[in-house]
Amino acid sequence: MNSGNIYVIAAPSGAGKTTLVLALLAAEPQVQLSISYTSRAPREGEVDGRDYHFVSRETFEAMIARGEFLESAEVYGNYYGTSQVWINEALAAGKDILLEIDTQGAAQVRRLFPQAISTFILPPSAEILEQRLRNRGKDSEDAIERRLKAAREEIAHVEEFDHIIVNEHIDEAVRDIIAIVRAGRLTLNRQVARHSELISKLKGA
């Protein structure tokens, strides 16, 4: 069976992950982004079914109890999870799928799918990280400190990932993430499955 790859992308907030993911999806339309479920309220401009499937805490907990998540985690007091059914269908259809999840979720996915290809996005410096977190609206010093702490806790897991991209120049970072996705499709297993006929003909078999 020609099944697709699972690409996991994690990053602290302030690393520029969303911009990178959007550019990747535009360049590689075969990659399907998994839309997570969350119990957090939609932010301004977010659309249900596009950014997340927004559900209540009760619905989310019932979904956990029914085993409907491939992975789930509580981040800043809200639940987030990846749909098991959606992933199974996408993989069976041979699609490459992209999971934009936190490091707890990434660890769960790695246990279930050791072949998943994971990438961590880093900001180019501690100063820039802090600056980006500060620029996100008029938050109190407390809120900014909390975000910085959360970012540091995510970054503590960087060594668990297969790839690291330092997002200093966005164009270069976009090329890097595209390179990771494309290289993942050129591995022996994928290529032998895709080109078995060509390979046996070329071998003269």
**Chain residues that interact with ligand 5GP, rule: CB under 6 A:** 13, 36, 40, 71, 73, 75, 80-82, 100-102, 104-105
Smallest distance, ligand 5GP to C-beta of residue 94, A: 22
Burial readout 78-93 (b: 16 or more C-beta within 10 A, e: otherwise): ebbbbbbebbeebbee
**40 vs 175, which CB is nearer to ligand 5GP?**
40
Euclidean distance between CA atoms 52 and 37, whole angstroms: 6
* Residue 16 marked in a binding site: yes
Q: Residue 158's closest CA among 5, 4, 12? A: 12
Q: Shortest gap between Cβ of 75 and ligand 5GP (angstroms)?
A: 4
Residue 60 or 174: which CB sits closer to ligand 5GP?
A: 60
How far apart are alpha carbons 172 and 23 in whole angstroms? 11
- Is 13 marked as binding a ligand? yes
Distance of closest approach, residue 99 Cβ to ligand 5GP, in angstroms: 7
Q: How far apart are CA 192 and CA 180, in angstroms?
A: 19
Only one residue has tokens 């996705």, namely 181
Closest distance between ligand 5GP and the C-beta of residue 31, in Å? 16
Q: How far is 160 from 167, CA to CA, in rounded Å?
A: 18
Sort strands 163-166 and 117-122 into parallel, antiparallel or unpaired: parallel
15 is in an annotated binding site: yes
Neighbours of 51 (CB within 10 A): 15
Which of residues 80 and 161 has its CB atom nearest to ligand 5GP in the complex? 80
* Choice between 18 and 191, CB closer to ligand 5GP: 18
Nearer to ligand 5GP, 18 or 131 (CB): 18
Rounded to the nearest whole angstrom, what is the least distance from the CB of residue 48 to ligand 5GP in the complex? Answer: 13
Residues tagged in the binding site annotation for ATP: 11-18
